[in-house]
């Protein structure tokens, strides 16, 4: 499953910050059952590459797995070795973006200004993470969409809820990264699945499904 196809099927990226290798497969099962098709494990989680490798093996062809908080080229190399497919960052680092593209991974750099957005695009990114979205607004996305290349997608990350998702989507967001509103350390797989289903239901409502 390609990231583009997964994101079209369900534009919710579940961010599992703090997840442990011992629980990650059960959490992954709950997310997949809820309809989530993209998962990232931030690299400031315990043993993140073990978790990424476990998810990549378990959900091969069924769910796209990657890393978040990717800050350097070495981490991109480790992500590739672990079987990850997307490289998500909180910042715009052309070297990290370029290395991801070189290895056949999908970079999803964090941007907050038009300058950062175009820097990311020139480095090879076609998917941008507006972060922190709660410090911006849907109007930001609408303005960016007017000037960015048409094949560039924007994902709002931070502060997105089922209640405000429509505003972001109407402005042009292709999807959303959801962290603590879906997963926080200590949550059971059942609780994660319940939270994920609420976001997936909101996504389906946007698409008229």
Active site residues: 40, 129
Separation between Cα atoms, residue 45 and residue 16, nearest integer Å: 8
Looking at the DSSP assignment, which residues form a beta bridge with residue 128?
A: 154
∠ Cα 203 184 39 (to 5°):
50
Separation between Cα atoms, residue 33 and residue 145, nearest integer Å: 33
Q: At a CB cut-off of 8 Å and minimum separation 6, what does 186 contact? A: none
Neighbours of 202 (CB within 10 A): 19
Separation between Cα atoms, residue 120 and residue 39, nearest integer Å: 22
Helices (H), 123-188: 138-147, 165-171
Tokens of 132: 């922190």
SS3 (DSSP) at 86 = strand
């Amino acid at each position: 499953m390609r990231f583009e196809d997964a994101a079209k099927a369900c534009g919710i990226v579940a961010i599992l910050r703090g997840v442990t290798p011992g629980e990650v497969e059960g959490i992954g099962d709950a997310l997949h059952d809820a309809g989530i098709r993209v998962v990232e494990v931030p690299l400031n989680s315990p043993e993140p590459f073990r978790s990424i490798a476990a998810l990549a093996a378990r959900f091969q062809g069924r769910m796209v797995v990657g890393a978040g908080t990717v800050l350097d080229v070495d981490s991109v190399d480790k992500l590739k070795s672990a079987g990850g497919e997307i490289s998500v960052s909180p910042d715009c680092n052309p070297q990290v973006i370029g290395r991801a593209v070189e290895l056949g991974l999908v970079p999803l750099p964090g941007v907050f200004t038009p300058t950062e957005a175009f820097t990311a695009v020139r480095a090879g990114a076609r998917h941008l993470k507006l972060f922190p979205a709660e410090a911006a607004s849907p109007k930001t996305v609408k303005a960016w969409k007017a000037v960015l290349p048409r094949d560039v997608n924007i994902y709002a990350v931070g502060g997105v809820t089922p209640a405000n998702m429509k505003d972001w989507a109407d402005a042009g967001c292709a999807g959303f990264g959801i962290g603590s509103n879906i997963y926080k350390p200590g949550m059971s797989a059942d609780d994660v699945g319940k939270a994920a289903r609420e976001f997936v239901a909101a996504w389906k409502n946007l698409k008229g499904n």
